């Protein structure tokens, strides 16, 4: 089982992830081409202005009005991205497979960042349950996506701390990580691809057409 999840399953997950993202990218470009106002309105200046503004914490009024959500959201995304990429165990796997190496997080930093992701998922879960305005736009699939996002980090932390049988926990960790990777292109998690283009269009429309800011 370990040989399968650490070999073929990882390859399958990466292939589905990459091909799925490429597919979504092509669909997005084709849809934009059919809309006669998107490409003509696109402006590099206002696209970059909007993009950089929205990746700066508290730069927009909406972020300042919901400071606790802003803090948790930024910490969540930073840790969610950096931990899988810079975890020394993951780097070792890439090094063994392809001979690639890069800087790694310290074990302590990776542990704390993993805990941040788990607590952030819990925060988002409670927020969806408690706030009517958030609950109104929440679907059962959103809770499932939270579970999918949290599962690799929970199992990774459990494996690192050896709370249960190590090999079983590692196998579950690899399975949940592969599932998360494969569902990204086909769920709301695909906003990691669409975010720059959405911001580029919004920034261009507000800046070049309406002569206003989009924040």
This prediction's pTM: 0.86
| Nearest by Cα to 160 from 78, 73, 102, 83 | 83
2-21+41-209 — its CATH code? 1.20.950
Domains of the chain, by residue range, sit at 2-21+41-209
Q: What is the pLDDT of residue 1?
A: 83
pLDDT of residue 210: 82
CA distances to 33, 42, 43, 204, 207 from 48, rounded to whole Å, are 21, 11, 8, 9, 11
State pLDDT tens for residues 49-61. 888 888 889 888 8
Tell the residue number behind the tokens 């390859």, with chain if given. 11
Of 73-77, 114-118, 184-188, 194-198, the one with minimum mean pLDDT is 194-198
Residue 181 is encoded by which pair of tokens?
């990777």
Tell me: pLDDT of 35 over 80: no
């Amino acid at each position: 089982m370990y040989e399968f999840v650490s070999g073929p399953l990882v390859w399958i997950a990466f292939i589905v992830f990459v091909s799925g993202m490429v597919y979504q990218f092509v669909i997005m470009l084709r849809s934009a081409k059919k809309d006669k106002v998107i490409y003509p309105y696109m402006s590099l200046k206002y696209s970059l202005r909007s993009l950089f503004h929205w990746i700066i914490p508290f730069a927009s009024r909406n972020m300042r009005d919901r400071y606790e959500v802003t803090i948790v959201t930024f910490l969540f995304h930073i840790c969610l991205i950096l931990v899988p990429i810079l975890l020394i165990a993951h780097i070792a796997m890439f090094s063994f497979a392809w001979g690639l190496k890069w800087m790694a997080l310290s074990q302590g930093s990776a542990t704390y960042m993993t805990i941040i992701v788990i607590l952030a998922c819990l925060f988002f879960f409670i927020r969806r349950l408690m706030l009517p305005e958030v609950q109104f736009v929440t679907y059962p699939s959103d809770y499932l996506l939270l579970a999918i996002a949290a599962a690799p980090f929970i199992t990774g932390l459990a494996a690192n701390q050896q709370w249960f049988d190590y090999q079983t926990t590692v196998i579950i960790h690899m399975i949940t990580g592969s599932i998360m990777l494969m569902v990204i292109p086909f769920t709301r998690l695909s906003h990691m691809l669409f975010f720059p283009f959405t911001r580029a269009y919004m920034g261009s429309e507000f800046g070049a057409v309406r002569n206003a800011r989009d924040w």
